Amino acid sequence: MRNRIPGWIVFVLSTLITLAVFVQAYLITAYVTGSGKDALDAHGTVGFITHLVEVVVFLFAIWAWWRAWKWLGFVFLLPLIGTVQLALAPEESGDSTSGWVHGFHGLLALVVLVLAAVIAHRSMRELGLKRGGGGHAGGGTAPPLP
């Protein structure tokens, strides 16, 4: 990691994305089990904000890991898959003819969860926040992917 400031930002935001996926899972389950349209609206709002944060994570990752192209490619998967996931969300009109396709919206949420957790873990490791591992002492290149 070349710069600790964007590393911290990536760590905090990717951790928040990880937590936001759990919040979204709760909200959509609350909606499905009868708590009303407010839960669905909250799910959509949290999802949209989370997607914006995914893009911000990637931008700060560029700053933090410039020239670590393999790792930046991995981080780019976060907003890319987040975009696909968002596109697979069903319309509010209740069109259930594409339910099998819209099911991938929830499945890709799990992929976003894992990607964000891996990014947060690597940021934590490189910032020296993980016990026993310490920070990466290398120069401008990042260690291999986990």
Residues 27 and 43 sit within 8 Å (Cβ to Cβ) = yes
Over 90: is that where the pLDDT of 24 sits? Answer: yes
Q: How far apart are the first and last CA of the chain?
A: 15
CA distance 134 to 123: 11
Q: What is the pLDDT of residue 139?
A: 47
Over 80: is that where the pLDDT of 28 sits? Answer: yes
Q: What is the pLDDT of residue 63?
A: 95
When pLDDT is cut at 50, 70 and 90, the band that residue 15 belongs to is very high
Work out the average pLDDT over 19-42: 96
Tokens 């931008």 belong to: 59
pLDDT one-digit tens code per residue, 109-136: 999 999 999 999 999 999 998 765 545 5
Look up residue 91 and give its two tokens: 């319309």
- Cα distances from 45 to residues 20, 21, 98, in angstroms, run 11, 12, 22
- Give every CB contact of residue 115 below 8 A, 6+ residues apart in sequence: 74, 77, 78, 81
DSSP state of 136: -
CA distance 131 to 133: 6
pLDDT one-digit tens code per residue, 55-97: 999 999 999 999 999 999 999 999 999 999 999 988 776 666 6
